[in-house]
Chain A
Amino acid sequence: MRVAQTPLAGNVICVKVEGRLDAATVPAFEQALQRLLLEGQARLVVDLGEVNYISSSGLRVLLTARRQSRSRGGDLFLCSLRPRVKEIFQMVGFLSVFGVYAASEDAAAAFPQPAV
């Protein structure tokens, strides 16, 4: 599993994950999200386009990080879900909770404009 961060327009950070998100790899992903939140970055997009598996521990980390980002005035959106990963989100009703977009740029554009 690999995690990489890319800045997007509108003061948004894209966190791109690759590989399996299971109980062995989720802690590193959680750390990456928590570090961003601690640094005050609350406008997050998680790109799951290269994730071939996500377990319940990965879902829980996303839910927690979304709650934390929203409590800091931001949000956490998802993009590029593969069909099987999307099916797992669907099964637990997460598709109606998370903002889910086709590409990271679409997700970034969905954030309200930052106050000037």
Chain B
Amino acid sequence: MIKRCLTVPGRFESLAQIAEFIGETARAADWNDDEVYHVQMAVDEACSNVMEHAYGPGGPGEIDLTCCIQDQGDLVISIHDNGMPFDPSVVPEPPIGADLESLPEGGLGLYFMRKLMDQVTFQFDERDGNVLTMVKRRRQ
């Protein structure tokens, strides 16, 4: 198993560094460029949400990323923050294929995360904060 970690300030300026970190790790495990791009986008959307909503303008904390390549090749990414709790059930689904002119605020990032990854799980507790875990399975 390969495991790599990165801690960055929860500010938008960290997004390019996060994309580089994810790209390096996924390429080290021989994921192809299309798959790497999809994982980078899902992580970018997830971290952007943390920066904008969990931390917000009140003052950013840190984001801890852990990227694991499991023995069978699956990619498991955990994103941890100590910001406001996030409840995905309150985020409206974007009207894909319908009236995009009235696209509500939010929801598009979460849509991409679910579309691009095989598994997306949110957890929150008072002590540990938010932990988002996303899995991309290795295609045989």
A93 B100 Cβ-Cβ under 8 A: yes
Chain A 59-99 per-residue mask, 1 if CB under 8 angstroms from chain B, else 0? 11001000100000000000000001000100111100100
**Would B45 and A55 count as touching, CB distance under 8 A?**
yes
User: Does B21 sit at the interface, judged by CB under 8 A?
Assistant: no
In the complex, which of the residues B19, B103, B112 contacts A91, with contact meaning CB atoms closer than 8 Å? B112
Docked Cα-Cα span, A92 to B108, in Å, equals: 8
Q: Are A60 and B103 in contact (CB-based, < 8 A)? A: yes
The answer on a CB contact under 8 Å between B15 and A22 is: yes
The docked-state distance in angstroms from the alpha carbon of A92 to that of B100 is 9
Decide if B41 is an interface residue (CB 8 Å cutoff).
Answer: yes
Interface residues of B in 92-117 (CB under 8 A from A): 94, 96-97, 100-101, 103, 108-109, 111-112, 115
The answer to whether A111 has its CB under 8 Å from any CB of chain B is no
What is B's interface to A at a CB cutoff of 8 Å? 12-13, 15-16, 19, 34, 37, 40-41, 44-45, 48, 51-52, 94, 96-97, 100-101, 103, 108-109, 111-112, 115
Using CB atoms and an 8 Å cutoff, list the residues of chain A in contact with chain B. 20, 22-24, 53, 55-57, 59-60, 63, 67, 84, 88, 91-94, 97
